[in-house]
Structure 1
Amino acid sequence: MRAQLSLKRLLATCVFALALSPSAYAEAPVPNHLQAVLDRGVLRVGTTGDYKPFSYKTRDGGQYIGLDLEIAKGLADALGVKLEVVPTSWPSLMADLAADKYDLALSGVSVNLERQKKAFFSVPYQRDGKTPITLCKNQERFQTLAQIDQPQVKAIVNPGGTNEKFARANLKQAQIVMHQDNVTIFDQIVQGKADLMMTDAVETRLQQKLHPELCAVHPDAPFDFSEKAALLPQDVALKAYVDQWLHLDMASGRFEQRMQHWLDYPWQPR
């Protein structure tokens, strides 16, 4: 009987203490990155500067240009704030987002489930998939993953992104050659230092224009399916705004005009 009374008193004490401390159940404030951008007056956009036609850092003056920089400028203008471009890299993309170095990333970022665990993506603005690019004379040699995954084949990749992830998931016998600079990586194939690269079909189409020796291998039928979108912090307000802006831009036809402009842009070949 005494044990029951003691238990009742303990429970009553706990209930009374919680009633005096409602903060114990108070939810943490929900972050609002959109309001933070408006208060700051600056939209910080992370970009890699090494992925034509989405993001490229020019050699003369170090200006960032490309489709995704135009999207970033459009978003900043719509918000009525200034645009600040924040350099990042594929290996540090997620860490920089987590460290709040930028409000969103635009750099031809592919949507994948690993990134989705830690971030949000906007609505996708481009469909794509991985496909090879190689010397034109070798096109028939590398039509399938089975043909590519041979011990004598050298597949080159840039570190930290979905190209490396795809190569490591699908190549068990072929040699994977790492190359740090995604701007000069295609020259390695031209020079015979690698046999091919598997990258997004849109990039293979563009790079074959810049390197006449190279040919995209079945870019209309890539090995997998992927989409490109803005990479965002896990903030509903900012995502909703970016989604709506992209929706309106694509529905108006402006996005398609931008995309075609940057596909046809006179990029420096090397």
Structure 2
Amino acid sequence: MKKILLPTDFSENAYNAIKYAVQLFEKEECLFYLLNTYTPVLYDNEYLVYSASQPTLTEIYSKRSNEGLERVLRRVKRNFRNDKHSFKKISSFNLLGDEIKDLVVEKEIDMVIMGTKGATGAEEILFGTHTVHAIKKTRCPLLAIPSLYEYRPPSQILFPTDYEADIPGILQSLLELAELHASTVHILHVYSGLNLSEEQTSRKNALGNALKNNGHHFYSITEKSVVRAIYDFQEENEVHLLAMVNNKRSFFENLLFMPLVNEIGFNVKIPFLVIPSPRR
């Protein structure tokens, strides 16, 4: 049984990610953990102002959190009846990123699925703050769902890679999704002018072998940045999911905070699967 963590701040963007999750794993037996965190004292001005006169404010926050989780659960069960799916609610007095990190270990979570922006997400950044922190801290695959994205089975997956990831190893989540949805995987390598090393060639062959039961294509792109290559491929081809291994800190940090109004206009309009590298 798969264990999927679904953080929610009760925004429509968060619920949209939950909808995506239950449809993505419609045919799989899953235990979904619905998570809501409320902010510790140090980070909450309202708490600092009123905690002295209202010693039960923590209880008020907890009550709101649990009531919100119950509303979300009723909504999901009403709209997506599935005997293969079960749910547990978690309300936690913690920072979201820290709670996700702890739960991934404690509950042996297979994947975190969340929206790219929360209730107050700014439009000028690619991902909201909570999503960025979760990507940095989470040691399991994280699937970020863009606002308003309507579910489509990921039959076409784009996987940019430098062939530095072991196969199947850390790519197990990608391979399982491809198998589950009979996906065609488009493997995109940005060629820097140097030939693949013996190790990279071995990993490329291993990836092809792992995908032998799925349609897959290898592409080698020259004279483009990774971001430009991804953007152009999405513009020229139908893609339902973008998957990347987070093994280059500087690249990912620049990508996550990249303004949408930059010269490329890079915008992830499709679900984005971030796979952590064990070397990170």
* TM-score normalised by the chain length of structure 2: 0.27
Q: Larger relative contact order (C-alpha < 8 A, sep ≥ 6)? A: 1
Computing the radius of gyration from Cα coordinates, the structure with the larger value is: 1
Decide which structure has greater helix share.
1
